[in-house]
Structure 1
Amino acid sequence: MLKCAKIAINHKSSLESGVMIPDEQPIDIPPQNAFLVPFLRALSTRHSLTRAEIIAHLLAEFQLPERALNIKQGNLSIILNRVGWCDTHFVKAGMVIKEQHPTDSQHDRFRITPLGLRELSQHADQITVGYLQGFYLGKVIRGAKADDSTSEAERTLYEAFEQLGDDWTIIQGVSWISKDNATVGEIDFLIAHPKHGVLVMEVKGGIIAVQNGNWTSTNLYQKVIIIQDPCIQAERNRRELKKWLALSPKTRQHRYAIFPALAFPDSQFNTDVRPDCPQDIILDIRHLENIEARLLAIFAYWQSRADKDNRHMDGRKAVEALVSLFQVTQSFQPAIVEIFKRENKQIDRLTQAQFKILRQLHRIRRAAIMGGAGTGKTLLAMEKAHHLLTDGFRVLVMCYNRNLQTWLELKLVHEGLIVSTFHSMVEKARQWAGFQDPPMTIQEFDAQAPDLLLDACHVLRQIRPDKLFDAIIIDEAQDFQDTWWIALSDLLKDPQNGIFYVFFDENQRLYARSSTIPMADMPFVLNENCRNTQHIHHAMNAYAQSDILTECVGPEGRAIDIRNTGDPQKDLQRVLHELINEQGVKSDDIIILTPASKERSQWKHLLRLGNFALTWDLNNDVSTWVRVSTIYSYKGLESSVVILTELDKAKDEVRDILIYVGISRAKNHVIVIGDLPPARR
């Protein structure tokens, strides 16, 4: 039978929330995440505070009486424990500095950092334990499943694992999508040791009980919750992980000894649960103070019983390969953003909002991601494609704009990848299927393209299934026609369950066509502009068509510079002289954008403006030539400096959208030649 750990609370009560004290009102103690922002806000109002002063502030904030400090979980005051976790996470995240008192923790002194002030000002509504964990790396590595839903039991183990030595590697929250079916695997903790192997650990909090094969957990509120059988979960995940490691290009060259383990940090087990679930593989409340000894004992138990194909662990390299497989990266490689030359150079990183979506996509096979200009949709699509390619999937990345296709092909190079527009993909698929189509006009091909693709996919499924894809990622999805979507699904090896992600921005819908994103669930929303300066962000938002606006996290930058002497060519010549000759900006960091076509624009190819010439070749590498493009063709791309011209030639029905797209292409500076018309909204 199971011997359960009991939670004692002073004043003859047994609940953390709604604690009843005889003849007194119940006391409700907020959860851990509710303490975080008040903790940080208290520090923002003073130069520094002691722990005792912070506790007093929090009691006042939550209108709690002083006797609430006596409510305990085990031997710990719940409120002191909550404050302790605030201390731990904010200090590790770099948002708070602590000066530790030599003898009395109540006199520890805390001070908020500039990072803490910035996060409190800009992202107070996002601050949770999971959000803070994204700012630091301790012993425990956060995997794709490690998010804000981290349980109290997992947090208890998280702290215990920090005691382990350098030989141990812990990954919290591991998930994957199976290649051969639609199932998803999830593991609470992977515990790896270069000599002993890997433990697949399932964690269950609360007081655990088993009756007639049914498992339950009783939480602090005395609520009994039916839970899945953790023994079955751990063994199933062990088998699936073994198969995945054997298939992944990152890990298949290594041998792994993989064993199941269970953790019940709030309970105590004195006997086996059943023959296939012995207490020898269980970590419970007694083992938290010396967790390394217990982990070694679990390894020893399994190693004496392991099959011959599950006995060997290939050392540190095998562990490193395991980490590289499941750890989500936070920075893009290669660094794809070149900062304006006169400003400090930096590498663009995923914002916390983007990082969270990237983790969530690791567990979801189909999703739509919506975001305004500058929110990193294309970068996020590239990062997701990179992850899938690394895992051995065949991937199709699609976009509407041919120039964006060319740029993506330069940035994403892999034998398992195809980058294409819709019409180019139709032509490729027809060639793979062996069709020889008669000549067609552009209009005829556009009208027949979806059916042509469906026919090609039908043939490929029979004769060349290797040409089909495991995953499709679409950027600029707002410009795709409704008739394209069914045909696109047919390019998947599994049209029903294949991986399918679409990225879109309704503010950049330049083409008057019907397009409904084919996703049943609500889209994920990217709401942080990480490309533009504050001035550019503010200017472009005035022309946005959607009410879903974004927040800019970039530097202040410069106000938009408007030049209008009545002579556009002289104005442009003067601007180019200032930028290139006087300020040292490279010509390839400048783009001249116009709503007019190459034929209608006054900016003719090789037009001379002083020492400079204009070119419509975006791949130009001549230092005295400056690139020109239509706004339509430059959608999805970016440049340090954008010079907007000929806005009077924009069609009325799309003028505001074109200005929005044009301004948003600039990372650092926007110059307008002529008038900048006010937004019509």
Structure 2
Amino acid sequence: MTGVEADERTEPQVCGQPREDSVAEQAVLARLRAQLPAEVAIICGQRVTSETSDAEIDMLIIWPERGIVVLEVKCGQVSMRDGAWYTSGRHGSTRLKRGPLEQAMEAKHTLARWLKPRTSFGPGRMVQMACLPFSSLRDWTALPDAPGELLIDEAGLERIADRIEHALSCFGADHPPITAAAVPLMCRQLRQTHHASEASRMRAAELDSRSNQLTAEQERILSVLRYQTRAGLSGGPGSGKTHLALLKARQLTRDGMRVAVMCYSRGLARLMQLTVAQWEPSERPAYVGLFHDLPLQWGADTGADDDSHYWEVELPQQLHDLALKQEKAQLFDAIIVDEGQDFSDIWWQAVESCLREPATGILYAFTDEHQRIFDRAGAAPITMNPFYLGENLRNVDTIVESIAGLASEPQIVRLHGGDPVEFVDVPFDEALTTADDILADIADSDEWDLSQVALLTTGQRHPVQREIVDSEGYDAYWDAFFAGEDPFYGHVLGFKGLDREVVVLCANGFRDPQRAREMMYVGMSRARFRLIVVGDIAELARLTSGDVDARRR
């Protein structure tokens, strides 16, 4: 969170703005700013997307040494009659689908799930409250699910800070409050995920637009596949595989099916979660996320991060066994797998077991065999030949030409006029330092905003990536990427399905030289408009059978 330090302020720091059309939110914020102490942080309109839900919090109040309040603000005159909530305004009385405290409670649970993997301290003391600034609770009769201590009416605004402090002491005393030291980190991560959600709204709008302007090839394939229960779609980078996978999942969900969308890459999974969260609830698949997260949600035993046998064999086997014990209502009518070349045979067996009808249930696999950069073999249980997506809708022509030798199928290029790919010839052990210098040059040139740049490594992870992941966790790391506010430091292995306008590909070695060709193919194809390859060009040419161009910068 940016701004002056708390000891220099005379009122709480506020991030975001209340909705322009909400007089109620503006009135509540004015009272909060007047009454709460300077060390409190207030975040307006906080969007939070977890693996299973999406919520927008009207006001999030983070009070060091007291706790966190999720505050739902309701305009109009709000009342409860016969156990139901109503709001009255110029257009009469309307029954609310959910009461304000129920909305706040659901948002609180979503926030708690979101915080768990991102912070070591956890949410701690947290309470849901509702503020009804234009209503009177003078004749209110408290109910078990709506205690008066959690509701603030017009009269309560005069002492809203006291009401919040009282609620935190009464309803959250079993948990320790958030510390002052933890507040800046929490606020920064919350704003990153909010900005990531805002960017996803634009991507979702683009997805809707593109779905109405599909290429003739994509439209034909979707039409042919309309009634296919098992299908594989293959295509190179930028061919729209993830786009079509999400459209297919949305279509099946609209048809009333229970659908799962899964992949292996954390970044790609987060991209799909953030995109799907922008859709109407009736269009959202039942599960969107990592293949490995589904068994954990179903109660699988956890394992160590560095235990490869657990992730490769044990957890997939647990998913298979857990699926056999699930009620049919929890299984799926259809499963969509993106980047299916990452899945081993035992994983595919687990995937099939998650279908209500394992032998005949709908299964779609989107793959690119030339992006098989992990040492595992597997084939989707689909007998028909794959449909090939031959158009590149993402990379400029010069980048497509630079990877042509690494691909077995030519692509039809849609974006022309790109700059030549740059190659910087340095030994592998000097590539990281050189890549950092190039990033500094890009910053000095003002030609590109650094938020449009990614620095990807092929060997050791960049120190900045290690620092963020080790201190804040993978979820916060990926939300920072989707927020699009800073240069991104990543590894080729985790960047499949993603892209940025400019990529500095740092070839600083390969853990498995036999996979160098595939890793260069993936890394080079992540750049949309400008690509700079840094590394030992002669050695790259040897490892890739001469298919990495040896031009120099």
TM-score normalized by the length of structure 2: 0.53
1:448 paired with 2:314, answer yes
- Counterpart residue type for residue 410 of structure 1: L
- Counterpart residue type for residue 590 of structure 1: V
What's the counterpart of residue 504 of structure 2?
Answer: 643
Which whole-Å deviations, capped at 9, do the CAs of 1:543-581 have from their partners, x for residues lacking one? 23xx33322222131111223478656644553344344
Structure 1 stretches of 4+ with a deviation exceeding 6 A read 621-624
1:426 paired with 2:283, answer no
Q: Aligned-pair distance for 1:674?
A: 3.3
> 1:138-177 counterparts in 2 under 5 A?
none
What's the counterpart of residue 28 of structure 1?
Answer: none
What's the counterpart of residue 35 of structure 1?
Answer: none
Distance 1:628 1:667, change over 3 A: same
Which whole-Å deviations, capped at 9, do the CAs of 1:50-91 have from their partners, x for residues lacking one? xxxxxxxxxxxxxxxxxxxxxxxxxxxxxxxxxxxxxxxxxx
What's the counterpart of residue 403 of structure 2?
Answer: 540
What are the ranges of 5 or more consecutive residues in structure 2 without an aligned counterpart? 1-201, 469-475, 547-553
Distance 1:449 1:554, change over 3 A: same
1:379 paired with 2:237, answer no
CA distance in 2, matches of 1:438, 1:602: 28
8 Å contact from structure 2 (residues 296, 302) kept in 1: no
- Counterpart residue type for residue 335 of structure 1: E
1:632 paired with 2:493, answer yes
CA distance in 2, matches of 1:478, 1:371: 11
Q: Aligned-pair distance for 1:652?
A: 1.7
8 Å contact from structure 1 (residues 335, 348) kept in 2: no
Which whole-Å deviations, capped at 9, do the CAs of 1:441-482 have from their partners, x for residues lacking one? 55245322333222211211xxx3221112100011111011
CA distance in 2, matches of 1:394, 1:589: 36
SS of alignment partner, residue 394 of structure 2: coil
CA distance in 2, matches of 1:526, 1:628: 30
Q: Aligned-pair distance for 1:530?
A: 1.2
SS of alignment partner, residue 479 of structure 2: coil
8 Å contact from structure 1 (residues 646, 673) kept in 2: yes
1:674 paired with 2:539, answer no
SS of alignment partner, residue 357 of structure 1: helix
CA distance in 1, matches of 2:527, 2:361: 36
1:562 paired with 2:409, answer no
> 1:399-438 counterparts in 2 under 5 A?
399-413=263-277, 414=281, 415-429=284-298, 431=299, 437=301
CA distance in 1, matches of 2:530, 2:211: 18
CA distance in 2, matches of 1:591, 1:606: 16
Distance 1:336 1:438, change over 3 A: closer
Which whole-Å deviations, capped at 9, do the CAs of 1:107-134 have from their partners, x for residues lacking one? xxxxxxxxxxxxxxxxxxxxxxxxxxxx
1:335 paired with 2:206, answer yes
What's the counterpart of residue 413 of structure 2?
Answer: 552
Deviates more, 1:451-460 or 1:360-369: 451-460
SS of alignment partner, residue 375 of structure 1: coil
Q: Aligned-pair distance for 1:332?
A: 8.2
SS of alignment partner, residue 530 of structure 1: strand
SS of alignment partner, residue 497 of structure 2: coil
SS of alignment partner, residue 362 of structure 1: helix
What's the counterpart of residue 365 of structure 1?
Answer: 229
Distance 1:680 1:602, change over 3 A: farther
What's the counterpart of residue 587 of structure 1?
Answer: 450
SS of alignment partner, residue 415 of structure 2: coil
Which structure has the bigger radius of gyration?
1
SS of alignment partner, residue 245 of structure 2: helix
| Between structures 1 and 2, the one with greater helix share | 2
CA distance in 1, matches of 2:372, 2:421: 24
What's the counterpart of residue 620 of structure 1?
Answer: 480
CA distance in 1, matches of 2:285, 2:235: 28
What's the counterpart of residue 234 of structure 1?
Answer: none
Q: Aligned-pair distance for 1:498?
A: 1.8
TM-score normalized by the length of structure 1: 0.44
CA distance in 2, matches of 1:337, 1:667: 21
Q: Aligned-pair distance for 1:501?
A: 0.5
- Counterpart residue type for residue 631 of structure 1: V
CA distance in 2, matches of 1:378, 1:465: 28
8 Å contact from structure 1 (residues 618, 627) kept in 2: no
CA distance in 2, matches of 1:347, 1:428: 32
Distance 1:671 1:439, change over 3 A: closer
- Counterpart residue type for residue 541 of structure 1: A
CA distance in 2, matches of 1:347, 1:585: 29
What's the counterpart of residue 613 of structure 1?
Answer: none
CA distance in 1, matches of 2:267, 2:203: 21
CA distance in 2, matches of 1:624, 1:384: 31
1:459 paired with 2:330, answer no
CA distance in 2, matches of 1:644, 1:336: 28
Q: Aligned-pair distance for 1:491?
A: 1.1
What's the counterpart of residue 524 of structure 1?
Answer: 387
8 Å contact from structure 2 (residues 455, 504) kept in 1: yes
SS of alignment partner, residue 334 of structure 1: helix
> 1:11-410 counterparts in 2 under 5 A?
333-335=204-206, 349-410=213-274
Distance 1:606 1:498, change over 3 A: closer
8 Å contact from structure 1 (residues 399, 474) kept in 2: yes
Q: Aligned-pair distance for 1:356?
A: 1.0
What's the counterpart of residue 515 of structure 1?
Answer: 378
Distance 1:400 1:604, change over 3 A: closer
What's the counterpart of residue 596 of structure 1?
Answer: 459
8 Å contact from structure 1 (residues 617, 627) kept in 2: no
8 Å contact from structure 1 (residues 450, 483) kept in 2: yes
Which whole-Å deviations, capped at 9, do the CAs of 1:138-163 have from their partners, x for residues lacking one? xxxxxxxxxxxxxxxxxxxxxxxxxx
Q: Aligned-pair distance for 1:378?
A: 0.9
Q: Aligned-pair distance for 1:627?
A: 1.5
Which whole-Å deviations, capped at 9, do the CAs of 1:21-58 have from their partners, x for residues lacking one? xxxxxxxxxxxxxxxxxxxxxxxxxxxxxxxxxxxxxx
What are the ranges of 5 or more consecutive residues in structure 1 without an aligned counterpart? 1-330, 339-345, 608-615
Distance 1:493 1:335, change over 3 A: same
- Counterpart residue type for residue 398 of structure 1: M
- Counterpart residue type for residue 379 of structure 1: H
Distance 1:587 1:377, change over 3 A: same
CA distance in 1, matches of 2:203, 2:432: 39
Distance 1:348 1:660, change over 3 A: farther
SS of alignment partner, residue 487 of structure 2: strand
How many residues were matched structurally?
A: 325
* Match 2:351 to one of 488, 497, 500: 488
Distance 1:539 1:409, change over 3 A: same
What's the counterpart of residue 479 of structure 1?
Answer: 342
Structural RMSD (CA): 3.2
- Counterpart residue type for residue 295 of structure 2: V
